[in-house]
């Protein structure tokens, strides 16, 4: 099943990328079940079988090209290190379409905005600040990130709390009617 008509763009067909491979350009990934999705330039599709199926929430990592081959995706400790070292996004399937959302709440690490497994993410910020930080999370000629809100956030949080990783993150309760964002995620549309 093809979730989006992605095989042809103005520049012609996009190259394919496989699990565990760095996407040097905007590419297409075909998962083990035959589903397809666009992978942004500079991102790596997880090589872990638990993370490389679109129907389960495909995970992509922002790993420098020269570091990708040093990760053994089948090795538990390598995968755990990747989760706490490199920004990640998850593909959320929504009515045969989808979008990427930062896998973990946005945090600031050495003056960069990241989505890594940590408990030191940014919390309780005014919405306008959260929007600004999410815009700085990821930028490319094709894609921009923004604050994940509304239906997209609800859909993502449903996925998030079903994951084993959710027990590592202590998300604060959402404050109703507040203009303060207790935690925030970035979304990237392809």
Q: Which strands form 36-39's sheet, in the order they lie side by side? A: 16-17, 27-30, 36-39
Please list the helix, strand and coil fractions of the chain in percent, rounded to the nearest 5, in that order: 25, 30, 45
pTM (two decimals): 0.84
Specify the higher pLDDT residue, 138 or 4. Answer: 138
> Between β-strands 87-94 and 97-102, what pairing exists: parallel, antiparallel or unpaired?
antiparallel
Q: What mean pLDDT do residues 84-101 have? A: 89
What pLDDT was estimated at residue 159?
86
Q: Where are the domains of the chain?
A: 8-188
Residue 4 pLDDT class (50, 70, 90 cuts): very low
Residue 98 pLDDT class (50, 70, 90 cuts): confident
Specify the higher pLDDT residue, 165 or 133. Answer: 133
188: tokens are 């990237």
**Per-residue pLDDT tens over the stretch 158-184:** 888 888 766 666 665 454 555 556 778
**Per-residue pLDDT tens over the stretch 8-60:** 444 568 999 999 999 999 999 999 999 999 999 999 999 999 999 998 899 99
Three-class SS of residue 181? strand
Is residue 143 within 8 Å of 26, Cβ to Cβ?
no
Q: What are phi and psi of 91, to 5 degrees?
A: -85, 120
The 10 Å Cβ neighbour count of residue 36 is: 19
């Amino acid at each position: 099943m093809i979730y989006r008509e992605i095989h042809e763009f103005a520049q012609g067909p996009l190259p394919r990328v496989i699990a565990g491979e760095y996407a040097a350009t905007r590419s297409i990934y075909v998962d083990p079940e035959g589903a397809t999705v666009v992978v942004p330039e500079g991102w790596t599709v997880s090589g872990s079988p638990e993370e490389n199926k679109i129907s389960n929430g495909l995970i992509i990592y922002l790993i420098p090209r020269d570091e990708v081959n040093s990760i053994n995706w089948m090795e538990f400790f390598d995968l755990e290190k990747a989760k706490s070292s490199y920004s990640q996004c998850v593909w959320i399937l929504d009515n045969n379409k989808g979008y990427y959302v930062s896998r973990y709440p946005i945090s600031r690490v050495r003056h960069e905005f990241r989505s890594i497994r940590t408990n030191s993410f940014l919390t309780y910020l005014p919405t306008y600040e959260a929007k600004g930080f999410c815009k700085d999370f990821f930028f490319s000629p094709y894609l921009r990130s923004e604050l994940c809100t509304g239906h997209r956030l609800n859909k993502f949080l449903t996925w998030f709390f079903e994951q084993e990783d959710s027990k590592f993150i202590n998300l604060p309760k959402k404050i109703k009617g507040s203009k303060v964002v207790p935690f925030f995620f970035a979304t990237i549309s392809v």
